[in-house]
Amino acid sequence: MIPRYTRPELGAIWTDEARFEAMREVEVAACEEMDGPTPADLAAIRAATFTVEAIAERERTTDHDVAAFVDVLAESAGPSGRWIHFGLTSSDVLDTGLALQLRRAGELILPGARRLVDVLAARAREHRDTVCVGRTHGIHAEPTTFGIKLAGFAFEAHRNAERLDRAFAQVAVGALSGAVGTYAATSPDFERRVLARLDLAAEPVSTQVVPRDRHADLLQAIALAGAGLERLATEIRHLQRTEVREVEEPFRAGQKGSSAMPHKRNPIKAEQITGLARVLRANATAGLENVALWHERDISHSSVERVILPDSTILIDYLQHRAAALVEGMTVYPERMRENLELTHGALYSQRVLLALVGGGMARDDAYRIAQRLAQQAWDEGTPLRELLAAERPELDLDEIFDPSYFTRHAGEIVGRLDEIA
């Protein structure tokens, strides 16, 4: 992932140095559980070092990065290096090292996911009673509160945090089962001991590689979390439109919205989230394609994963922090929300009119047609619906029909449900 969208802590997990270091940890843990190496051998193996440059130079000869890594690390250990990679195959080290990297990524991503829940919940409580219009199909429907809107996003963010937690847990598995996964040169007990040192679970049947449905599951959880962020960003983008202007994302001092038009304050953070969520979905598709490998294994998945696993984990980490900062700093305009409630001249109270007519004994379809006709007239002509009803249906209790608290009377209970998660 390019530096622009990479937070340093997450980016550091996916450097070549970090990748080979994870592999080194696997090799050392394996040697520590072997019967052959002496204490002196183990001391030399633990002290063995590598450089990315030396491995790259060796790979020019081997045309195999793991073999090059093993050669460099073993040479650094001296005669004791003969125990490095003893009985192992490349996938043992690659897949188990990858599990270590993914676990470390999860340790950074999951707190960010939970922080987003907390930020959304805090703003939802703040605006529990901030009345605004609810929209369906992009059209004014009935009043709601901005707190209820945000509470829905908070619960979705919580579900995504839970999914990410489960996905990172199930991908934290390793395998040291040897070629085609039969333990011909190792043993299940040896594998269990090595993985216990690394605090990883063992893959029940590895077929030499850890099955890629695990990684696909993680990529799908990441993509789904990204889709939730995109839904939030899309809402903010709409609410920031000039014609709506109920919400604006943060705009700091010195920031420029346009190189040509000084007045512009564009929803660039929300647009960025929307765009990068597409990358996460595309990567999830590639992860699904990686599941079907030939027979016990091939390496068609390997090149793909070197791109999509770093990119997806880096991006979801970046997007979560971007979204949390957006929500935390966004400006809300309650007065504009109240103004927008009047745009239809009361037409959004049409269901209340319908219920009042039906409650007074009228057939539902007849009541619907009357409410529809008057609501459309109010909207088209700009005449308040209340005035039209007063002239045509004086028997109705207009104070009750046009009481806005009817729509928001349960806001406290709905937003209060956030106590279950945040």
Contact 170, 215 (CB under 8 A): no
Q: How far apart are CA 88 and CA 187, in angstroms?
A: 11
- Tracing tokens 């709409």 back to the chain, one arrives at 238
β-pairing, 201-202 with 173-174?
A: parallel
Phi, psi of 131 (to 5 degrees): -75, 135
Q: How far apart are CA 146 and CA 133, in angstroms?
A: 9
Helices of type H across 127-267: 146-171, 188-198, 213-240
Phi, psi of 400 (to 5 degrees): -70, -45
Q: Residue 228 has which token pair?
A: 């939730």
Q: How far apart are CA 233 and CA 401, in angstroms?
A: 34
Q: How far apart are CA 417 and CA 415, in angstroms?
A: 5
Which residue, 136, 132, 105, is CA-closest to 313?
105
What Å distances lie between residue 7 and 2, 135, 223, 274, 328, CA to CA?
10, 36, 18, 18, 19
Catalytic residue IDs:
137, 258
Contact 265, 251 (CB under 8 A): yes
- Tracing tokens 């040697």 back to the chain, one arrives at 31
